[in-house]
Amino acid sequence: MRANRVVLWTGLLATLALAAHAAPKFKHIVIVDQENRTPDNIFGSNPNFERGVDIQNFGIDSKGHRIAFTPVALAGCYDISHSHKEFEAMLTQGADREQTKAKRDCHLPADPEFKYIDNSTGTVQPYFDIATTYGFANRMFQTNQGPSFPSHQFIFGGTSSPSTDSPLFASENVAIKGAAAGCIAPAGQTVKLIDGFGHEHHNPPIYPCFERPTLSDLLVKAGIGWRYYAPKPGSIWTAPDAIAHICMPSKVKGKLRCTGSQWTQHVVPRNPAQALTDVESCNLQAVSWVIPTAEESDHAGSNVGLGPAWVASIVNTIGRQATCRNGETYWNDTAILITWDDWGGWYDHVAPLAVDIRKRGGRPQWGDGYTYGFRVPLMVVSAYTQAGTVSNSPYDFGSMLYFIERNFGLGFIGPGTSIYSNYADYHAQDRGPLSDFFNLGNARPFVAIPTKMTAQDFIDAPPSDLPPDDD
């Protein structure tokens, strides 16, 4: 893993890209957020699966040795630590410096970080098929340098800061594992804060309930519908429960519950598969976040191998949806953005994006100390995305938010009056709103993604209470 970061874009290239491609105005945008993988890890079983993709199935360890990847099951028995501390270890020392935890009776293989997912039985073939049938990004990076709780905050609101003008970011998962996160967390629950110099111990941890704007506030103000399909309240993957004005925590029968009107109207906890039934019943909102259950998440150590089929079922349900009473067909006006919340500790050969670090009176600017993280996959699906589209433009979670903002004419999430208050969407504007993936013209007919499971299989599955990532 290279320690030196490189800047991968310039303002000129971004301007040329915007001039060459113009994104159609979609009526619906769906963010599908899976868990804890890198492009090398998911696609390393066939690194040349498509012309132009940048996949590598070997890595370099801390001693400079070349380590050939070997296969591991998607539903494996071990999980690699992916805290901010482990991010720093992997970036500066090498992937083999990370910590790994395994289930009881799990045989931990040699070089556990240097793996690709075994596709000999077609487990991850739906991901290959989505990438080749539609669009694949070579340079998508998680915005933050840490695990799921802050990552989901960035995907929902462009930051993990506790308040609009705070110079700090929430940097880790919550301290009490197994207990709720967000505004319904128990009194002793905390989350670490990191400053612009990358220090996690200079500020005391805080209760994980924040007050700042998110993309949903722009949507509400504009009268645009949104929905967040989540595993359960209090999950570190359920980003809205950590925003005070959305959750509005209150005791119900002696237990803290989210009771806010935005929560009750727009958040669907415990049943991510409702996204499928909402599509089938012509009830898809303008913007949707679809978060999996642990079983369907791709998260090492907790998934059961259903993630690729789950994602394919979302794509297929939107693509096959019958014409609604108003004459709308979702396939013709919907963009699907499929990404992963963090790298999960797996090796990837591409160095993170660099932050433009310029000091003002010795103070860091926004993003210093905690952005950007390692590469994660991004696949884009729409009727305007040509088969075999491979983009080399640099993107991050802010790019998805900026794409939504541009599409609906919303403006930016946070004010631009402070070096700390510009959120990830604001910085993504220099790189363009995913324009590489769309060409105006007639809509392509839908091409289904083969999968062994149907949407109905997921709709009929009982609700899951399996806890998510606690690293």
Q: Which domain holds residue 253?
A: 11-460
Per-residue pLDDT tens digits for 392-407: 999 999 999 999 999 9
In a domain, 80, yes or no: yes
In a domain, 5, yes or no: no
State residue 455's pLDDT score: 93
In a domain, 4, yes or no: no
| Number of structural domains found in the chain | 1
Ranges assigned E (strand) in 200-308: 226-229, 249-252, 255-258, 267-268, 287-290
State residue 24's pLDDT score: 53
Per-residue pLDDT tens digits for 331-370: 999 999 999 999 999 999 999 988 765 555 567 788 889 9
Per-residue pLDDT tens digits for 171-224: 999 999 989 999 999 999 999 999 998 999 999 999 999 999 999 999 999 999
In a domain, 143, yes or no: yes
In a domain, 429, yes or no: yes
Please check whether residue 17 is in contact with residue 393, taking contact to mean a CB–CB distance below 8 angstroms.
yes
Per-residue pLDDT tens digits for 244-260: 999 999 999 989 999 99
Question: Mean pLDDT for the chain?
Answer: 90
In a domain, 3, yes or no: no
Average pLDDT over residues 123-144: 98
100-107, long-range: CB < 8 A, 24+ apart? 100/345, 101/301, 101/471, 102/77, 102/78, 102/301, 103/77, 103/78, 103/301, 105/77, 106/77, 106/78, 107/77
Per-residue pLDDT tens digits for 273-305: 999 999 999 999 999 999 999 999 999 988 899
Res. 8: pLDDT tops 70? no
Q: pTM for the whole thing? A: 0.93
Token readout for 161 is 């800061």
In a domain, 228, yes or no: yes
What's the CATH code of the domain at 452?
3.40.720.10
At 123, is the pLDDT very low, low, confident or very high (cuts 50, 70, 90)? very high
Cα gap 173→190, rounded to integer Å: 9
Q: What does the longest C-alpha to C-alpha distance in the chain come to?
A: 63
State residue 468's pLDDT score: 63
In a domain, 465, yes or no: no
Cα gap 56→237, rounded to integer Å: 29
**Closest-CA residue to 116 (of 106, 107, 124, 104):** 124
Per-residue pLDDT tens digits for 316-336: 999 999 899 999 999 999 999
